[in-house]
Amino acid sequence: MKIIWLGHGSFRIEIEDQVLLVDPWLEGNPMLPKDQHAAATAGATKLLITHGHDDHTGDLAAIANAQGIGAVGPYELMTHFGETHGVDVTAYNFGGTAKLGGVEVSLVPATHSSSLSDERKSYMGREAGFVIRGEGHCIYVSGDTGIMADMDWIGDYFKPDIGILSAGGFYTMDMAQAAYAAKRYFDFRTVIPCHYRTFGALEQSAQVLIDGLPGVDVIEPQVMRSIVF
C-alpha cells in the first residue's frame, strides 16, 4: 500500500486493486507542480471527496470526466456533480460503506462547512471524513475538521491504525489539537498531517504534532513521495 501526498488536503492512495484520489486539487495548488499533475492522477480508479470547498472539489469534474472514473462522497455534494457535470457518483451518507473492488470506504462525520463558490455560494450538505479499509490496514482520513466528540466512536468502532489528519490550524485543527485528538480518541501507529504549509496562515511544521505523540510514527509527508506500508 502506498500513500502519496499531493499537497494541501490531497492524497493518492494505492490500496488493493484501487488508486484513490482524496480531494485532488491540481489547478491552483501551490504545492503541486503542474508537470506532476498527470503523474498524480495516472491510473486513478475513484475520487473520494469530503466537502464542497474549491480546494477540494475544483478539479473533481475535470478529472472524473477526462479519466472516465466516478466520485464518492456526501449525498448532496455528489448529487450536485452528478446532475450538473455528468459525473458518475456514489452519493451516500453517514453510516454508509461503499465497496470499491477490494476496498471498503465508510463515510464518517467531520465538523467544518461545505459550500461551492458559485454566484449563490451554494450549500453542499454536510462535510465528512472517510475510513478506508484494505490490505490489513484501516485509514482514518479526517477531512477538514476541528476536534469533535464523534472521533470517540470512530476510533473505538473502526480502530484505525493510520490517521491522515488536517492539522494546519485556522480552518481546521492545528498541530496541538491534532495531537490531543489522536491521543484521546485513537490508537494510531502512524499519523500523517496535511492541510498545512500551503499558505502563510497555516502551520508550516509538524514538530508540535511529533512532540505531542511519543511512540507514534508521525510522518511529515513530501509532495509526490510514496509512504509505503
Reduce the secondary structure of 140-191 to three states and give it as a string: EECCCCCCCCHHHHHHHHHCCCEEEEECCCCCCCCHHHHHHHHHHHCCCCEE
- Is 89 within a domain? yes
State the total domains in the chain.
1
Q: How far apart are CA 199 and CA 201, in angstroms?
A: 5
- Is 226 within a domain? no
Residue 118: pLDDT band (50, 70, 90) is confident
- Is 227 within a domain? no
Here the cell at position 53 is 470547498
Query: From residue 115, how far is each of 3, 147, 200, 217, 223 by CA, in Å?
Result: 27, 20, 23, 34, 27
Residue 117: pLDDT band (50, 70, 90) is confident
Provide the residue type at 183 as one letter: K
Query: From residue 18, how far is each of 4, 92, 145, 148 by CA, in Å?
Result: 14, 19, 26, 30
Residue 124: pLDDT band (50, 70, 90) is confident
**Can you tell me the mean pLDDT for 129-140?**
98
**Can you tell me the mean pLDDT for 79-89?**
96
Closest CA to 144 of 50, 14, 220, 208: 50
What are the pLDDT digits (tens) for 182-222? Answer: 999 999 999 999 999 999 999 999 999 999 999 999 999 99
pLDDT at 116: 86
**Can you tell me the mean pLDDT for 167-196?**
98
For the chain, the average pLDDT equals 96
| Domain with 201 in it | 2-221
- Is 229 within a domain? no
- The answer to whether residue 119 scores a pLDDT higher than 70 is no
- The answer to whether residue 82 scores a pLDDT higher than 90 is yes
pLDDT at 177: 98
pLDDT at 123: 82
- Is 33 within a domain? yes
- Is 34 within a domain? yes
- The answer to whether residue 30 scores a pLDDT higher than 80 is yes
Cβ-based neighbours of 133, under 8 Å, separated by 6 or more = 103, 104, 105, 106, 139, 158
What are the pLDDT digits (tens) for 44-69? Answer: 999 999 999 988 898 999 999 999 99
- Is 228 within a domain? no
Helix axes of 60-67 and 75-85: crossing angle, nearest 10 degrees: 60
- Is 141 within a domain? yes
- Other Cβ atoms less than 10 A from the Cβ of 86: the count is 11
The pTM of the whole model exceeds 0.75: yes
175: CATH = 3.60.15.10
Here the cell at position 105 is 470506504
Name the residue with cell 462522497.
73
